[in-house]
Structure 1
Amino acid sequence: MAGVEVVNVFTCRNAGGNPCPVVVDAAGLDPAGMQEVARQHGHESGFILPAEDEAHDFRFRFFVPNHEMEMCAHATVGALWLLAKHGRLPASPVRIATASGSVAGFVSATENGTVSVEITQPAGRVVPLSPEQAGDVLAALDVSRETLADLPLHNAVTSRVKTLVPMRDPEKLHALVANPVAVEAICRRIGSTGLYPYAIVDGEARVFEARQFPRSSGYPEDAATGIAAAALAFGLLHDRTIAADDRPIRVYQGRAMGSLSEITVRLGFAGDRAIGCLLGGEVAPTTGLAQAIAEDGRQ
């Protein structure tokens, strides 16, 4: 197997985060081999390939155990962090080709060696669900409308469509028990890649909690989902839950899994029009069992 390095991405106070296997030199892997890496590790996995044109520095591919993905934010952040640690980055910004389009990565290092990574996402699109669609989403989550905040349910997208479900409070959010079969069925009907229920923790401070139940990744829940957090930021802006400015939005995810993660989103504006966002978070080397699996894969 190709050399696999595992990092935790979107960690919170150097803990939690979403484990991400990355192959820094994936030129020798075909798609079946890439998917096999994701299957063996049981997580979204990132693969770094040479650029195919002069407009980019690298090409990234992403797999979950069940299929290839067009874009994976935490794998992109983790891959850039590893490239920086290996001293293989060109000057920032780094130009990355993905199946969902071009992404720019901004990588900086502090004097103590900490590497900070942010990546771009395009302006989000937000489409409210119909009453029938909303009812089917609530059935998949086994909740009633009384558990929701007084906000609409949306499909929102920057790179991959996520369904935003506004819960009344964090306690109800963390009590959710989703039915994976029902989640997959409703996601396919409404053109979504995952349900993203969220709750407002502190609206003025722009702090939110969220959970991600993916459509068909091969596991029931994600500890951190950057693409969903970016979609949420545009949903919040659409609903006027947040003001139209570039102050950081902090999304905490994974608490119900015992792996608390922190994702930061900063919206960008041209005048009063949102034109995209920067998505970032902390990265840490994986220790323990996940690292042992990674090292096993290198042998």
Structure 2
Amino acid sequence: MARYAYVVADVFTDVPLQGNPTAVFLDAGGLSPARMQQIAQEMHLSETVFVLPPENDGDVRVRIFTPVNELPFAGHPTLGAAVVLGESHEAKELRMETAKGTVTFELQRDEAGRTVAAAMWQPLPVWRTYDRADELLAALDLTDTGSTLPVEVYDNGPRHVFVGMDDVPALSSLEPDQRILARLPDMAANCFAGEGNGWRLRMFSPAYGVVEDAATGSAAGAVAVHLARHGLAPFGEWIDIRQGIEIGRPSTMRARVTGTPHRIDAVQVAGSAVVVARATLFT
């Protein structure tokens, strides 16, 4: 019987039992992709990350699984993994190979030398108009009010569709019809509200096995691009994105986009993470 050590970290928070948990399997070299999928289902977290030896220019390679599928990239599990790996990685930067390319993390340590936060340079998203917007708005019960911005889909690994709300109370009162959302394949529905440098986000994705996510790092980068492209957030400045409040898992993500509405040069997402458990899986 093989043994696999893993760590659970709460991501985009520095408070245990807040933010979004992820399980990080520290040495997954003996696991097949099918077994990784089974383990992710067993963990029953929005994402589980498996650390492997690098194949190209990274310090490590990772594979990321939701309870129902593998993702080429995701934000909160990779940032959580970077903070966990910082325990044994002494350099200031960590390069992580994903199916979307190598992602660089800048590690932040406290006075005792413990890694407590990280900032990542995310894969640049591509975007287009979402062709099933009417169905999505119906699922969100927003057929009459619509979205404050064009309903567009951004692909940076996961596919995020964004719907703008008039204000935070309207955002908090959303009760999506998960049955309709489940008919929209390979997408996460993200609803946002706010202004300037302060925003709130909610993410729903039956397609990725997540009823509602507590902190979606890949969406934080994509929504920052969406807001900046449409003139609602500044290029070159950090914005704060709060998520998870409605489900009792408050999280804080920071995002910054450089470029222009027609050319995005870089997308950064930053936040804290805290280890809450260490365990061994027998398989």
- The alignment's TM-score, normalised by the length of structure 1, stands at 0.85
Partner letter of residue 27 of structure 1?
A: G
How far is 1:82 from its partner? 0.9
State the alpha-carbon separation in 2 of the partners of residues 109 and 231 from structure 1: 26
Alignment of 1:264 with 2:248, yes or no, is no
8 Å CA contact 1:170, 1:199 repeated in 2: yes
8 Å CA contact 2:148, 2:163 repeated in 1: no
SS in 1 for 2:149: coil
Alignment of 1:100 with 2:103, yes or no, is no
Aligned pairs for 1:184-195 within 5 A: 184-186=182-184, 188=185, 192-195=186-189
How far is 1:125 from its partner? 2.8
Name the structure with the higher strand share. 2
Q: What residue in structure 1 maps to residue 69 of structure 2?
A: 67
SS in 1 for 2:12: strand
Alignment of 1:254 with 2:254, yes or no, is no
8 Å CA contact 1:156, 1:234 repeated in 2: no
Partner letter of residue 102 of structure 1?
A: T
State the alpha-carbon separation in 2 of the partners of residues 9 and 150 from structure 1: 29
Q: What residue in structure 1 maps to residue 177 of structure 2?
A: 179
CA separation of 1:67/1:124 partners in 2, compared to 1, >3 Å: closer, same or farther? closer
8 Å CA contact 2:73, 2:156 repeated in 1: no
Q: CA RMSD in A?
A: 2.2
Q: What residue in structure 2 maps to residue 50 of structure 1?
A: 53
Partner letter of residue 254 of structure 1?
A: G
Name the structure with the higher helix share. 1
- Percent of residue pairs identical: 28
How far is 1:81 from its partner? 0.8
- The alignment's TM-score, normalised by the length of structure 2, stands at 0.90
**Size of the alignment, in residue pairs?**
278
Q: What residue in structure 2 maps to residue 127 of structure 1?
A: 128
Partner letter of residue 79 of structure 2?
A: V
Alignment of 1:197 with 2:196, yes or no, is no
State the alpha-carbon separation in 2 of the partners of residues 37 and 92 from structure 1: 31
State the alpha-carbon separation in 2 of the partners of residues 114 and 101 from structure 1: 27
CA separation of 1:170/1:162 partners in 2, compared to 1, >3 Å: closer, same or farther? same
State the alpha-carbon separation in 2 of the partners of residues 182 and 70 from structure 1: 25
Q: Which 5+ residue runs of structure 2 have no aligned equivalent?
A: none
CA separation of 1:235/1:34 partners in 2, compared to 1, >3 Å: closer, same or farther? same
How far is 1:111 from its partner? 1.5
CA separation of 1:112/1:174 partners in 2, compared to 1, >3 Å: closer, same or farther? same
Provide, for residues 71-112 of structure 1, a one-character-per-residue CA deviation record: whole Å limited to 9, x for no partner.
121111111111112x2x263432221112221111131324
The correspondence for 2:4, drawn from 2, 5, 13, is 2
Q: What residue in structure 2 maps to residue 295 of structure 1?
A: 279
Greater alpha carbon shift after TM alignment, 151-160 vs 20-29: 151-160
How far is 1:143 from its partner? 2.5
Provide, for residues 145-188 of structure 1, a one-character-per-residue CA deviation record: whole Å limited to 9, x for no partner.
32x553221112333220000011111111111222311213x2
How far is 1:275 from its partner? 0.7
State the alpha-carbon separation in 1 of the partners of residues 113 and 224 from structure 2: 30
Provide, for residues 259-286 of structure 1, a one-character-per-residue CA deviation record: whole Å limited to 9, x for no partner.
111111122349x953121111110122
SS in 2 for 1:56: coil
The correspondence for 2:199, drawn from 208, 226, 244, is 208
